[in-house]
Structure 1
Amino acid sequence: MNPARAPQSVPARLAQIALYGVAAAAVAGLVALIVSAVLNGSLTRSGTADALGWGALILGFLSGAVAYSQSGQSRIESTMRARLGEGYRAPGLPWPQILAPLIGAGILSAIVFALN
């Protein structure tokens, strides 16, 4: 058995999702800060809070887009299979891909709250 393919325990999987959320917060926050610094010429405390707020908003929309896309895709596939007379149970939502950006958005929102 390949150790890279071994199933993960639930706490290990949750820790991995949380780590991805922290990474998403770091990347989105850094990109938002760089864009804000370039556009404004410098970073102030309120400018940093605004930039991180935009980063949190973008991560929140990303999470919603993943959920919306998956639900639309499963609806289309179930309709197509129903036309062929096949039964089809749509897969559930991809929770790790939805939760990671939400965790990142929560982290950035907490930092914005602390800055204000």
Structure 2
Amino acid sequence: MNPARAPQSAPARLAQIALYGVAAAAVAGLLTLIVSAVLNGGLTRAGAADALGWGALILGFLSGAVAYSQSGQGRIEGEMRARLGESYRAPGLPWPQILIPLIGAGVLSAIVFALN
């Protein structure tokens, strides 16, 4: 049996989103550092800053892709339902899925700023 999940308070939900954002930054940062070290035969401070910058860029694009795909999907569904004469209220943007990579990109950008 699965116990019923208690509803989260707003601060607890924001803390969870921030924690996931930091985890996304750690994973993306580690992967980009490994790729940079393998391709360059080692890792320097400038190479680490460059790799983490790429990680931040990738996470930023991921966030934009989620927002873009969700808005396009809602528009298409609205048009299909309008043809059938049904009313349809498009769902809002999935803010947690957009904010998590943005927070990760911000964390990596702050680390790049500290390294430079």
User: What's the TM-score once normalised by structure 1's chain length?
Assistant: 0.97
Q: CA RMSD in A?
A: 0.9
Q: Shift of the alpha carbon at 1:5?
A: 2.2
Whether 1:11 and 2:11 are equivalent positions in the alignment is: yes
Query: C-alpha offsets along residues 53-94 of structure 1, whole Å, 9 cap, x if unaligned?
Result: 000000000000000000000000000000000000000000
Structure 1 runs of 4+ aligned residues shifted over 4 Å read: none
Aligned to 1:88: 88
1:8-87 aligned within 5 A: 8-87=8-87
Mapped partners of 1:114, 1:68: distance in 2: 31
- Paired residue type of 2:109: S
Gaps of 5+ in 2: none
Mapped partners of 1:73, 1:56: distance in 2: 26
Does the residue aligned with 1:8 lie in a helix, a strand or coil?
coil
User: What's the TM-score once normalised by structure 2's chain length?
Assistant: 0.97
Aligned to 1:105: 105
How many aligned residue pairs are there?
A: 115
Q: Shift of the alpha carbon at 1:13?
A: 0.4
Q: Shift of the alpha carbon at 1:6?
A: 1.8
Identity %: 90
